[in-house]
Copies of this chain bind each other. A is one copy, B any other.
Amino acid sequence: MEKVKRTLGRSYGQFCGLARALDVVGDRWNLLIVRELLPGPMRFNELMTSLGGIATNLLTERLRTLEAEGIVERRLGEAGVRYALTPWGAGLREPIEAFVRWSAPLMMTGRDGGSFQPRWLAVALPALLREVTADPALEIGFEVEGALMVLHVDEDGPRVEVEPDRRPDTILKAAPEIILGLAADALTIDQALAAGHLRGDIQILRSILPPGRATAATTPDPR
């Protein structure tokens, strides 16, 4: 029989923008699903493995809810179903980027066994480098955990492309925590080089990163 049920997560019942936003995307996993889709559409199983640990029924239910809310849309292509953000759903980039900036101190405690997906950097780097511009435009390749991505910087700001069509001239190899430390200005280029965690031509890097404070060794943990 049909399920009439439909509490779709409890509503806070408040006439407040934050509360209404959380009514829609506040349930567990929802914002992480949006984060996954920000760099581009994905299939169900890609979401499963990238999110790591979400149960199949939950992912199904979340995608259905997000679709009903107008945040995610199903695209039926020749290769099967792909999930993509609607324009309104892509607007969640702003609060997500704000969270990424706010949480920078939490990242400086190190990776600590957490899982990692290169595409997360495609979200984090523009968030952390928000005010960086370059004219003429430049691009830097990053090879992280075997995946290649390209950071484009022009007068409008930074943008990251995953799985680029062509390889950029400059490619840096580094661990994710090094890239993040540099972008969050919690680590200097010299420190990264000295530790042997950064390889490649770093001249372009110097041009876009702030001079870098030598405070990286101090505890950035706010607690």
Q: Enumerate chain A interface residues (CB-CB to B < 8 A).
A: 12-24, 26, 28, 31-32, 35, 52-53, 68-70, 86, 88, 91-92, 94-107, 111-117, 120, 123-124, 127, 176-177, 180, 222-223
Nearest 4 interchain pairs by C-beta: A15-B114, A17-B100, A95-B98, A21-B103
Which B residues are CB-close (under 8 A) to A17?
A: 99-104, 106-107, 124, 127, 180
CB-nearest residue of chain B to A102: B91
Least Cβ–Cβ distance between A173 and chain B, in angstroms: 18
**Which of B18, B68, B104, B105 interacts with A100 by CB under 8 Å?**
B18
CB <8 Å contact, B32 and A99: no
CA distance A13 to B123 in the complex (A): 18
CB-nearest residue of chain B to A26: B28
Least Cβ–Cβ distance between A184 and chain B, in angstroms: 9
Given A14-B114, A14-B116, A94-B101, 6 more contacts at CB 8 Å?
Answer: A16-B117, A16-B124, A19-B114, A23-B106, A95-B95, A97-B98
CB <8 Å contact, B16 and A116: yes
CB-nearest residue of chain B to A95: B98
CB <8 Å contact, A22 and B115: no
CB-nearest residue of chain B to A111: B15
Q: How many copies does the complex hold?
A: 2
CA distance A68 to B26 in the complex (A): 22
Least Cβ–Cβ distance between A63 and chain B, in angstroms: 15
CB <8 Å contact, B18 and A31: yes
CB-nearest residue of chain B to A223: B70
Which B residues are CB-close (under 8 A) to A13?
A: 52-53, 113-115
CA distance A31 to B12 in the complex (A): 12
CB <8 Å contact, A32 and B20: no
**Which of B23, B52, B88, B111 interacts with A105 by CB under 8 Å?**
B88
